[in-house]
Structure 1
């Protein structure tokens, strides 16, 4: 397991350099996402989830759609959130850059320093609320707010969000870090400090194998599970493979209504604030492994 995580982390580190080079004015979000996801596969991994490119007040879960024409612009604050898995063992990581400007440097530094401060104290048996307290105090010391309703999370094999949340503030939880894999991801904002649903993302994950009456959609679902297990996947990943063979929109809506698929919402900052994010994945046993260090 640890060897698979290390391989995924090695790929993720290489990918970060490639991503930073692509984040420039005029580059399309679609091309960035497709290029990075292809590179992950070429390096021997698989995307742990669709590449998220969330800009300015968009907090999370924006991945380009088919024929998406959005492009990077000067002054954009870009959160680049991506994952790599090897045999289902997932590395989840993110960083923020401002394109050809320094207007939001302090806000970017707030989330980055919050993660750096967590690195100094994280250990087995630490209460998750203590991590949240460090994040909250660091971000507030810079004059900003954490996003209170976004959090890090435990990761298990093929399961990106595995139950235990790592808050971005002191929520007084007595849950302690046991041995396992955890993503810590401080979000900072100059807005209200809360994220809210904006629109649907085109990112899905399988949440149930509830019986499916339609045989064609049942076959489609079985192929989805074979390809992705419970790893999140994107509509655009399916488009080239299935469009014309099955009515993709009808099949997906059926599976959502039947309770087989969940579609993630795009999240925006409630007060229209700019949002920044940094994230790493820790493996914790008797030692601490910062998988992206």
Structure 2
């Protein structure tokens, strides 16, 4: 790829993959690797998948950054692990506004939540909410992601994310 007049080699990010999708469950269990590795998982008719490719001008391997930027309520979370009343209240707000879809602290601010950091930390610590820190390759490298969503029909795959701009 050429960026600013300079040519960079792009490598696949080997430790990221696509995944199966269910209703309100963005990561539903099956993985779709972007590099060959011996995975024998089979896709089945009626299943939905996010087919993702990730590229980097760095090492092609990412690690989690320090500061968490996004969160997601766990699919199986019921609030029974949250001990703090404020944490249970926040979990209820998360369920009502986001369900199991990803959100960031800015979204909590927009819906009027205040003084929630300790409660959010408690929800992460007790396993009700998963933290999603940024994924980082080498400093100064460029990374990119491309994705299509598809469903497997009896005789073909149907790309659901295809449009005029994609």
Query: TM-score scaled to structure 2, two decimals?
Result: 0.82
**Given that residues 239 and 248 in structure 1 are in contact (C-alpha distance below 8 angstroms), is that contact kept between their aligned partners in structure 2?**
no
Task: Give the aligned partner of residue 142 of structure 2.
Answer: 274
1:223 aligns with 2:93: yes
2:133 partner SS: strand
Gaps in structure 1 of 5+ consecutive residues: 1-76, 78-97, 108-142
Question: Aligned ranges for residues 18-97 of structure 1 at < 5 Å?
Answer: none
2:136 partner SS: strand
Counterpart CA distance in 2 for 1:144 and 1:216 is 46
Deviations 1:132-163 (A, max 9, x none): xxxxxxxxxxx542100011111111011111
**Given that residues 84 and 119 in structure 2 are in contact (C-alpha distance below 8 angstroms), is that contact kept between their aligned partners in structure 1?**
no
- More helix by percentage: 1
**Given that residues 79 and 91 in structure 2 are in contact (C-alpha distance below 8 angstroms), is that contact kept between their aligned partners in structure 1?**
no
Q: Give the Å deviation of 1:189.
A: 2.1
**Given that residues 210 and 259 in structure 1 are in contact (C-alpha distance below 8 angstroms), is that contact kept between their aligned partners in structure 2?**
no
Gaps in structure 2 of 5+ consecutive residues: none
Q: Given the superposition, is the C-alpha separation of residues 210 and 290 from structure 1 closer, same or farther in structure 2, using an over 3 Å criterion? A: same
Deviations 1:45-77 (A, max 9, x none): xxxxxxxxxxxxxxxxxxxxxxxxxxxxxxxx9
Task: Give the aligned partner of residue 34 of structure 2.
Answer: 168
Task: Give the aligned partner of residue 15 of structure 2.
Answer: 149
Counterpart CA distance in 1 for 2:99 and 2:41 is 28
Q: Give the Å deviation of 1:234.
A: 1.3
Q: Give the Å deviation of 1:214.
A: 2.6
**Given that residues 191 and 269 in structure 1 are in contact (C-alpha distance below 8 angstroms), is that contact kept between their aligned partners in structure 2?**
yes
1:201 aligns with 2:71: no
Q: Give the Å deviation of 1:272.
A: 4.9
Query: TM-score scaled to structure 1, two decimals?
Result: 0.49
**Given that residues 192 and 271 in structure 1 are in contact (C-alpha distance below 8 angstroms), is that contact kept between their aligned partners in structure 2?**
no
Task: Give the aligned partner of residue 181 of structure 1.
Answer: 48
Q: Given the superposition, is the C-alpha separation of residues 214 and 144 from structure 1 closer, same or farther in structure 2, using an over 3 Å criterion? A: closer
Q: Which has the higher contact order (CA 8 A, sep 6+)?
A: 2
How many corresponding residue pairs? 156
Q: Give the Å deviation of 1:102.
A: 5.7
Q: CA RMSD in A?
A: 2.2
Q: Given the superposition, is the C-alpha separation of residues 157 and 196 from structure 1 closer, same or farther in structure 2, using an over 3 Å criterion? A: same
1:278 partner SS: strand
